[in-house]
Amino acid sequence: MVGMATTTRRTERRTDALSRARIVEAAIEILDADGESALTFRALAARLATGSGAIYWHVANKSELLAAATDDVVARALGGAASEADPEQEVRTLALRIFDAIDAHPWVGSQLAREPLQLAMQQILEAIGQRLESFGTPDRALFDAASALTNYIVGVAGQNAANARLHVHDEGRTAFLEQVATRWTDLDAEQHPFLSKVAPQLADHDDREQFLAGVDLILAGIRTPH
Amino acid sequence: MVGMATTTRRTERRTDALSRARIVEAAIEILDADGESALTFRALAARLATGSGAIYWHVANKSELLAAATDDVVARALGGAASEADPEQEVRTLALRIFDAIDAHPWVGSQLAREPLQLAMQQILEAIGQRLESFGTPDRALFDAASALTNYIVGVAGQNAANARLHVHDEGRTAFLEQVATRWTDLDAEQHPFLSKVAPQLADHDDREQFLAGVDLILAGIRTPH
DNA sequence: GCACCACTGGAATCACGTTCCAAGCGCGCG
DNA sequence: CGCGCGCTTGGAACGTGATTCCAGTGGTGC
């Protein structure tokens, strides 16, 4: 972007030199440790023992930094896609990899939901699309199918991130779910028949399992000729 | 929240008095007109011809205000759910209503993707869940199915919002899509077989149609016994 | 030894969200 | 009919964040 000389040389000055990679790495550490709100240029500068100005020489702005961090995590999550016998099973494990990555780095969820056709989204779409190829779906439907799966994944990701943001770090999560479940139970059964009915399921459901159930639903739909 | 007297009386003082409703309305106007970044308490105060302090008497903080605005739009979009013969068709029109509402108010997309089991999400889940009841799906699967559809919708919503934010107000959107399509075409076909293959579809695809295709996919999956 | 340039650190700027506080206003009581 | 009180209001003040600016610094090639 900026910097990265027009002249060709690229001699590592100090070994501890600042670099885009080191900055992104530090950003990820901060995000993982203390959440999205903790990532400020001041904090980043402090952690890298430098000033914010120096960081701006390597990175255009905060949103680019976040995008880079996201791409990084997503790439790692998708890396080394072990192929399995069943292509459908491949899609499932792929989806779970992404789910787990986002579970481990909730801020990635927000970011995916925020940026449009960015690198990270592209990687996911490509990975899923590739696996879907072998389903024998007609080309046009293929694009729709891959998009649907990707959008579903991103949707879940966003919700997970929102939850994580709410209960930074802990398992007040369980308490929160119970609280919502109670709220649903207390709803007027006339006005909200569905929610009051499923309330008990909410309390003990497993996010990961439910996510996978959704993936299976979509896969089943893709298989169906419609 | 705050205010709203412990004592019971609630006599409308001036007719032009500030009120939570009027504030939310003004917020929506600003959001619709100039996007998420334009909604500041200063701008809001200016539009309402008052000070920011006065606003805080009616609304706890910005995120509550955004949530209220979102609930408002979603409620309107879901209102008067005309029932149709086919329950499946009902789900489709319901989904389209939400899609269109978000298309008209992109900031709602960001918001939905950002807040966890908030009122707005609840409304959507309930509406979809109700329609799904008549599918004869077993209860447990029903919750999963409704969640899947909801998450898919929210995922698409987030992407739409992201796009809208990028090309505030205009149709640089088309230009953007073409640009991405070119990027995909230029990708190494070895590394990205899928994207380079579907690139041409990207340029001319219709968001709304593709969204509906995804809904149909999931509906097909729900019908399938698996 | 010198001039240059990639790169650095931190101070300065500007816009926000939020908090504080000194009024303003109408009501009900005396 | 005026007074006091508590709900409301307007706007100033505060703290913090992103971003910009700028005065260096030190290594490189001459």
A56 touches strand D (CB under 7 A): yes
**Interior/surface letters A81-106, b for 16+ CB within 10 angstroms, e for the rest:** eeeeeeebebbbebbbbbbebbbebb
Distance CA B112, CA B106 (A): 10
Please check whether residue B101 is in contact with residue B74, taking contact to mean a CB–CB distance below 8 angstroms. Answer: yes
Distance CA B3, CA B60 (A): 10
Right CATH for B84-223 from 3.40.50.300, 1.10.357.10, 3.30.559.10, 3.20.20.80:
1.10.357.10
Distance CA A56, CA A41 (A): 9
Residue range A20-59, CATH number: 1.10.10.60
- Whether A149 shows a pLDDT value over 80: the answer reads yes
Out of A168-182, B34-48, B106-120, B181-195, pick the least confident.
A168-182
- Residue B38 tokens read as 């334009």
The verdict on domain A85-223 having CATH code 1.10.357.10 is yes
CB-nearest to A214 from B113, B147, B224 is B147
- Whether A8 shows a pLDDT value over 60: the answer reads no
- Residue B91 tokens read as 């789900």
> From the C1' of C10, which residue's alpha carbon is nearest?
A51
B10 touches strand C (CB under 7 A): no
Every domain range in chain A assigned CATH 1.10.357.10: 85-223
Distance CA B57, CA B127 (A): 33
* Amino acid, single-letter form, for residue A139: D
Residue of A nearest to B197 (CA): A139
Q: What does the pLDDT read at residue B203?
A: 87
**Predicted ipTM of the assembly:** 0.90
Report the residue of A98, A131, A144 to disrupt the B interface, i.e. the one with the largest count of B CBs within 10 Å. Answer: A144
In 3-state terms, what secondary structure has residue B59?
coil
Out of A159-173, B99-113, B139-153, pick the least confident.
A159-173
Q: What are phi and psi of B79, to 5 degrees?
A: -55, 150
* Interchain CB contact of A129 with B (< 8 Å): yes
Every domain range in chain A assigned CATH 1.10.10.60: 20-59
Please check whether residue A147 is in contact with residue A125, taking contact to mean a CB–CB distance below 8 angstroms. Answer: yes
CB-nearest to B217 from A148, A163, A184 is A148
Residue A47 C-alpha, separation from nearest chain B C-alpha, in angstroms: 28
Q: What does the pLDDT read at residue B169?
A: 63
Q: Which of A70, A122, A124, A72 is nearest to A97 (CA)?
A: A124
- Whether A6 shows a pLDDT value over 60: the answer reads no
Residues A100-133 have pLDDT tens digits of: 999 999 999 999 999 888 999 999 999 999 999 9
